[in-house]
Amino acid sequence: MERINRIKKGNYMNGFGSKGIIEVEGKSYTIFRLKKLEEEGIANISRLPFSIRVLVENLLRNMNGRTIAEEDVRETANWKGKYNELKEIAYYPSRVILQDFTGVPCIVDLASMRDAMAELGGDPMKINPLVPVDLIIDHSVQVDHYGTSDSITKNMDIEYKRNMERYTLLKWAQKSFKNMRVFPPGSGIIHQVNLEHISKAVMTDEKDGEVTAFPDTVIGTDSHTTMINGLGVLGWGVGGIEAEAVMLGQPYYMTIPEVVGVRLSGTLPEGTTATDLALTITEFLRKHRVVGKFVEFFGKGVKRMSLADRAMLANMAPEYGATTGFFPVDEETINYLKLTGRGDAASLVEAYSKEQGLFYYGGEEPEYTEVVEFDISKVVPSVAGPSRPQDRLPLNDLKKSFTGFIASSRSYDANSESAEKEVVINIASHVIKLSDGALAIAAITSCTSTSNPSVMIGAGLLAKKAVEKGLTISPHVKTSLAPGSGVVEEYLQKSGLISYLENLGFYTVGFGCTTCIGNSGPLHPEIERAVKEKGLILTSVLSGNRNFEARIHQSVKANYLASPALVVALAIAGTVDIDLTKEPLGLGKDNNPVYLKDIWPANDEINEIMNSLLTASMFIRKYASALEGDKHWQSLSSPSGSAFNWDKDSTYIKKPPFFTGFSRAPEMQEDIKNARALLVLGDSVTTDHISPAGSIPEKYPAGQYLAQHGVSPKDFNTYGSRRGNHEVMMRGTFANVRIKNKLAGREGGYTLKLPEQEERFIFDAAMSYMGEGIPLVVMAGNEYGTGSSRDWAAKG
């Protein structure tokens, strides 16, 4: 047990005599000097990648002779670049960040740990976070209502009704656990709130009058925690189990990583966006195989990038497969802290980073495992799809690619011969002819894009020009705008651009992930009929980071990622079966054709608005009351005390079985023998396939369970919202309607039960095998388990 004991928070050793003092604006801060390792001839720190320097500081500061020994510091400080034999280190992140889908099961686990501690005769209050924890409720709001000014009010009313049991638990946690803050619904998207408000880039810890300064480091229960890398903060997504361990003061065990340096050069050409850059980098690095490695950006191209653009590239690290997409601290970091109302932290960040060799001046050439070159000036307008974010397409290839997708999709579908090429539907007295490729969903959403003012203002300007040209959007397209923070809505309002977006149907539907996490809400019944009865292949376009099969909507087969401006443009076109570089979006005033080039905004237009509107006071004002919540949150009653009062009838929150009969001695594990295959899968099976987050089908095992417990199908909510109930999540494992198990021979959560040769739901077959005492294995190809850091993909 000695391996997992951690020294008490604040009790730092003086490893290698590295303690020192810096003075910043009349205040003294203790630091653990990396330069001391150079002075003592232990290591040449200045040759290291900046991300490795952060790891070295973490080990040096937390060295305790037990989990971290001198040897660990020396080994990491003398980073080899490439490791044939993995070297494990104990890393202590400074804080933990959670969103509600993954945060609820963490809180459920901690609450059940308290019960187990009490049953063992211990003090349940010892189960308490020892590092700062922030939980942002952003994953639950759904797009039930859209296209009207009161959509957001209606959606939030429904959100609270659906999630009352979950929110009661979270409000109890806020009161019962120390070191935990809960940002109520409507605060914004987790990673945008982290970027714009929570992180200070350098943290401080006071103990007995001594204030220690150190780099902000974070792990989160969401894979896109990497977005904070754009601020020079080392952070990435982990599973809930690892996050709970760190919350309770344990280290995060990791191997010393290889670091791929990406030298950026050039600038974005006119007519392209930061989204195009992010999608191109994703394709480029995924092909380069950076899975499990740190990626660090450097070069002249970095110095020309805004911090918002950097954050977009960092956000997409899970999509290109890296653990991080790191940008070191520089003057742009300092300027961004000041812009977003954190000027009080900027001076310390600058002084500390420069003193510690963590400040990037632009000319440094650290030694990397390898260096790859990327010329930003070669980026072209792009989308990605139809089911993976790394499958980038130049915009002029979209139509051709979709034609190929139709052919492959029809070949897999047994009912394809009966599918109709054109379907006539009636929506709001509009008779509409739809064909394959018709756009069902167009969503400006996700922290990836809405954190970047340039792409949001660009979308607003394109909408303005489109409205002025007389363009409209067909009612068959479900349009939505879900900003990642209230700041976005404010600058769109102040610029006057929000009215043009609303004119085209892009009304604010909520401040949360919405469509990007699969909370796209219901489609019009006529649209659903066209799919179920006529076999129409529908599409979606969103400014998000994920487009995995069945993630966006179970009735939508092809999903494309694009910049917010292209989301608006494709919504006007009403289909992806179009070459926007050659074909008109539609007919404007006087029946004249209008092309994309006619309404695309110039970079100077975007920059003029952006530079004139964004102020520190805007960010300070919007975040001043973020923890207070709206009237719903303030009126929400919740229990108090150290133990949570479990409701045995709840279908959202159930006490998990993991700690039932828990003993101090671990059980011995047995070898797996005479196992059968439960699934045989191909390549690129994501965590969305393994543990879907979206809607729960009525006929699937989880739907059957809820129905048996008196829940109406309209109240099923989503798998993600029910992660606090292990009964639902076990039944939801491998329940993606698009998963392709080769044992079953058709899409969906089915398998072949052996030796009976019976097709069954995967959950039902697994329970039968368990009753027979037969162990099971899952066989899969490359990239199994890519995607979200979803603990239920492991626990389920």
User: Which pLDDT tens digit goes with each residue over 138-156?
Assistant: 999 999 999 999 999 999 9
Instruction: Evaluate whether residue 758 is within a structural domain.
Output: yes
Q: What is the CATH number of the domain that holds 548?
A: 3.30.499.10
Separation between Cα atoms, residue 720 and residue 705, nearest integer Å: 16
Instruction: Evaluate whether residue 186 is within a structural domain.
Output: no
Please give the full DSSP string across 205-249, using - where no structure is assigned: EEETTEEEEEE-EEEESSGGGGGGGGGT-EEEE--HHHHHHHHTT
pLDDT at 412 over 60: no
What domain count does the chain have? 3
169-186 burial: b if 16+ Cβ within 10 Å, else e: bbbbbbebbeebebbbbb
> 699 and 555, same structural domain?
no
Please, which residues have CB within 8 angstroms of residue 50's CB and are 6 or more apart in sequence?
232, 296, 326, 328, 358, 360, 366
pLDDT at 725 over 60: yes
Residue 152: DSSP 8-state: H
Residue 341: DSSP 8-state: T
> 460 and 602, same structural domain?
yes
Q: What is the CATH number of the domain that holds 725?
A: 3.20.19.10
Q: What average pLDDT does range 11-32 have in this prediction?
A: 92
> 578 and 441, same structural domain?
yes
Instruction: Evaluate whether residue 361 is within a structural domain.
Output: no
Comparing 667 with 730, the larger pLDDT belongs to 730
Instruction: Evaluate whether residue 373 is within a structural domain.
Output: no
Residue 359: DSSP 8-state: B
Query: Chain centroid to CA 52: how far?
Result: 24
Please give the full DSSP string across 442-453, using - where no structure is assigned: EEE--HHHHT-H
Instruction: Evaluate whether residue 358 is within a structural domain.
Output: no
pLDDT for 7: 35
> 683 and 614, same structural domain?
no
> 559 and 421, same structural domain?
yes
Confidence of residue 5 (pLDDT cuts 50, 70, 90): very low
pLDDT at 342 over 90: yes
Lowest pLDDT segment from 88-92, 393-397, 790-794: 790-794
pLDDT at 290 over 90: yes
Distances (CA, A) of 719 to 236, 281, 548, 551, 705: 23, 31, 16, 11, 12
Separation between Cα atoms, residue 103 and residue 221, nearest integer Å: 7
> 467 and 592, same structural domain?
yes
> 533 and 403, same structural domain?
yes
Strands (E), 266-342: 294-298, 324-326
Count of other CB atoms within 10 angstroms of residue 776: 15
Smallest CA-to-CA distance from 409 within 535, 526, 533 is with 535
The amino acid that residue 337 corresponds to is L
> 554 and 418, same structural domain?
yes
Long-range contacts of 198-202 (CB under 8 A, 24+ apart): 198/97, 198/134, 199/228, 199/231, 199/233, 200/337, 200/342, 200/345, 200/349, 201/231, 201/232, 201/233, 201/329, 201/333, 201/337, 201/345, 201/349, 201/353, 202/345, 202/348, 202/349, 202/352, 202/353
What is the SS3 assignment for 459? helix
pLDDT for 419: 57
Distances (CA, A) of 60 to 55, 262, 308, 717: 9, 27, 31, 47
pLDDT for 1: 24
pLDDT at 116 over 70: yes
Domain final residue, candidates 43, 61, 91: 91
Q: What average pLDDT does range 539-562 have in this prediction?
A: 94
How do 593-594 and 586-587 pair as beta strands? Answer: antiparallel
> 592 and 454, same structural domain?
yes
pLDDT for 515: 95
Confidence of residue 428 (pLDDT cuts 50, 70, 90): confident
Q: What is the mean pLDDT of the chain?
A: 94
Lowest pLDDT segment from 111-125, 145-159, 377-391, 779-793: 779-793
Separation between Cα atoms, residue 88 and residue 714, nearest integer Å: 48
Please, which residues have CB within 8 angstroms of residue 756's CB and are 6 or more apart in sequence?
none
Q: Which of 89-93, 113-117, 550-554 has the highest mean pLDDT?
A: 89-93
Separation between Cα atoms, residue 673 and residue 520, nearest integer Å: 43
Instruction: Evaluate whether residue 264 is within a structural domain.
Output: no
Separation between Cα atoms, residue 718 and residue 695, nearest integer Å: 4
Q: Return the bridge partners of 214, or none.
A: 203
Per-residue pLDDT of 155-199, as tens digits, reads 999 999 999 999 999 999 999 999 999 999 999 999 999 999 999
> 594 and 481, same structural domain?
yes
Per-residue pLDDT of 221-251, as tens digits, reads 999 999 999 999 999 999 989 999 999 999 9
pLDDT for 10: 43
> 514 and 410, same structural domain?
yes
| CA-based end-to-end distance of the chain | 28
Strands (E), 56-171: 88-91, 95-99, 133-136
Smallest CA-to-CA distance from 794 within 366, 260, 384, 242 is with 242
Domain final residue, candidates 619, 634, 656: 619
> 602 and 486, same structural domain?
yes
> By residue range, what is the domain housing residue 489?
382-619
Domain final residue, candidates 602, 619, 636: 619
Element (H, E) at 542: strand 538-542
Q: What average pLDDT does range 662-673 have in this prediction?
A: 82
Instruction: Evaluate whether residue 356 is within a structural domain.
Output: no
Instruction: Evaluate whether residue 535 is within a structural domain.
Output: yes
Q: Is the dihedral of CA 377, 380, 384, 386 positive or negative?
A: negative
| Percent above pLDDT 70 for the chain | 97
Smallest CA-to-CA distance from 565 within 462, 446, 496, 483 is with 462
